[in-house]
Structure 1
Amino acid sequence: GTLLSLTPKLRSDVLEGIAEEIIKYIAYPKDNQFKKVAEALIQTHPCLREKGTRTGCCGWKHYIKVKMMNFRTKLGRAGHPEVTVNSLKNKQIGQEKPAANIKKPRRAEVNFCPNHPRGETNDSLEVERVALLTEVKKKNNETVIKEKMQRTFSYRRQEILQEPMITEVRNRWPALFEIGEVNLEFMRITTVPLISKFIGQLDKYTDALMKVFR
């Protein structure tokens, strides 16, 4: 078919659209993922295939990679949580490089680094965190604690992703070390209930475990 000769403006618009779609799924794609996106682009739109290249999309892969770098910069300025948590100013000492220790969602981490609830800021959520220190000392106060832990989830995740010491986490978020909140936090991150998931997997491997312990 006929190949399309793109103007810089049209190419930029195409790349902008691709970046907007990629960021819905992942902020830091791997090299092979960029390759798959570029291949999918020319398969879906053969007119965008490049002349004189073996794959027909080597240039597109490079353009998409650069576009994502620029797109993340723009998102970081806008306060995108996952990009912000990986910014240079949030790197640990000795890791002050863009590619160092990139924090990405692990498998099943649906809510890896969520946005703050509408109308909330770091300052307002810090007030909630301090209030939690008092609420956690009260008896039969699980409902209030659960509500405040849910509200401060995004704020807490940003802290956890900075990999603080366990003692610091315990001091700042004592409720997180209660059994009930461990289960709820797992649910907030993965949307999967911890206990039933654990029991289900335990049942699945019971026979094999019994053989190991005999």
Structure 2
Amino acid sequence: MGNYRTKLRGLGCPELDVNLTANKRPNERAPAKNIKKPRRAEINYLPPLPKGETKGSLESERVELLTEIQKRNNNVIIAEKMAKTFSIQRDEIVNQTPQISEVKDRWPALFEATQINEEFQRLTMVTLEPTFMAKLDQHTPKILSLMASRGGAAKPKIHLIQNMLLQEEASSIEKKREAAIRGLILYLGEKDDDLIKDELDVDDDSAEVIKIITTRSDPPRARVVIEGTSVLEDIDVPRACALLMGLIYALNLSYPKNLRNTFEVFQKIFLELDSLKASHKVMSLKSKLLI
């Protein structure tokens, strides 16, 4: 395998070149420091340049993309250019680790729902929203049942979720999905307001790392905030969770430590990515969901 990897490196495979000591920053030139590799079942973590293209030609495509995104009903051209520039976009995000605001300025199309789905499929070969929602719907009844069995400090929050389901028009699919997600977080021993927060409880001066902020409109809407930058707006909470997973993959972000079990469930149960290597807590939940 070592010889095989050497041959691939000689052919210019980006996933191997990126960890060469000579290609690291001066303060990171140690063999085991800052290793960049797929962590969550990404198939195209660092793809090579398309045949016949250079970084210069693809940069010209990126600049043209900034103009195309301003035009109406231009989804086909945007999708083509995003697919074409996928390699330099990944190189920039993985190697340079820019701030979210910088990525949004350079790659605004990456923050549109359609392109988040496309990007996720390029990275994992799995459809994002259809897979996430299908598995969420499949497991919702069991999640709500498990949630109801939870006691202790989570009990008051569970009562609030149960009351939400009893309210007028609460039987909508979006409400049931949101209740299942909130119940899942509580069942895993984490706090639902660490992920989903009411806009009235948000400090204007805070720079939320990863947060879904809900409004009290009718129907309630949500926006996704990463590093203090609003990246998605006017969507429901379940869809915000699915698209947030897509953005975490697209932006090569780590899961929040205080929600690592929740995001592991999103990845390994709802999206079925690397599902055989789950933690004990997630494997236990998976077993209970299948009973």
Q: What is the TM-score of this pair, normalised by structure 2? A: 0.46
Question: Partner residue of 1:202?
Answer: 136
| Matching of residues 32-47 of structure 1 within 5 Å | none
Q: How big is the shift at 1:92?
A: 5.2
Q: Which amino acid aligns with 1:19?
A: G
Equivalent of 1:179 in 109, 113, 123:
113
Flag the structure with higher strand content.
Answer: 2
Q: How big is the shift at 1:94?
A: 4.0
Bigger radius of gyration: 1
| Matching of residues 111-122 of structure 1 within 5 Å | 111-122=44-55
- CA distance in 2 between counterparts of 1:138 and 1:97 reads 46
Q: Percent identity?
A: 47
Query: 1:170–1:176: 8 Å Cα contact kept in structure 2?
Result: yes
Equivalent of 1:166 in 100, 107, 110:
100
Q: How big is the shift at 1:90?
A: 4.8
Q: Which amino acid aligns with 2:129?
A: I
Q: Which amino acid aligns with 1:155?
A: I
- CA distance in 1 between counterparts of 2:125 and 2:85 reads 17
Q: How big is the shift at 1:115?
A: 1.1
Q: Can you list the C-alpha shifts for 1:52-101, whole angstroms capped at 9, x where unaligned?
A: xxxxxxxxxxxxxxxxxxx27x82x6532112222345545743322111
- CA distance in 1 between counterparts of 2:134 and 2:26 reads 41
RMSD: 2.1
Q: Which amino acid aligns with 2:86?
A: F
Q: Which amino acid aligns with 2:45?
A: F
- CA distance in 2 between counterparts of 1:81 and 1:136 reads 28
Q: Which amino acid aligns with 2:112?
A: E
Q: Which amino acid aligns with 1:147?
A: E
Runs of 4+, deviation exceeding 3 Å = 18-21, 87-94
Q: Can you list the C-alpha shifts for 1:124-173, whole angstroms capped at 9, x where unaligned?
A: 11111111111111111100000000001111111111221111111110
Question: Partner residue of 1:58?
Answer: none
| Matching of residues 62-211 of structure 1 within 5 Å | 71=6, 75=9, 78-88=11-21, 90-91=23-24, 94-162=27-95, 163-211=97-145
Work out the number of aligned pairs and report it.
Answer: 147
- CA distance in 2 between counterparts of 1:90 and 1:204 reads 46
- CA distance in 1 between counterparts of 2:24 and 2:49 reads 21
For structure 1, the 5+ residue unaligned runs are 1-17, 24-70
Alpha carbons of structure 1 residues 134 and 197: separation in structure 2 relative to 1, 3 Å: same
Alpha carbons of structure 1 residues 181 and 121: separation in structure 2 relative to 1, 3 Å: same
Q: How big is the shift at 1:20?
A: 5.0
- CA distance in 2 between counterparts of 1:92 and 1:195 reads 37
- CA distance in 1 between counterparts of 2:13 and 2:77 reads 29
Q: What is the TM-score of this pair, normalised by structure 1? A: 0.62
Give the secondary structure class of the aligned counterpart of 2:121: helix
Q: Can you list the C-alpha shifts for 1:16-70, whole angstroms capped at 9, x where unaligned?
A: xx4355x4xxxxxxxxxxxxxxxxxxxxxxxxxxxxxxxxxxxxxxxxxxxxxxx
Query: 1:85–1:158: 8 Å Cα contact kept in structure 2?
Result: no
- CA distance in 1 between counterparts of 2:135 and 2:11 reads 41
Alpha carbons of structure 1 residues 94 and 201: separation in structure 2 relative to 1, 3 Å: farther
Question: Partner residue of 2:288?
Answer: none
Q: Which amino acid aligns with 1:125?
A: L
For structure 2, the 5+ residue unaligned runs are 148-160, 163-291
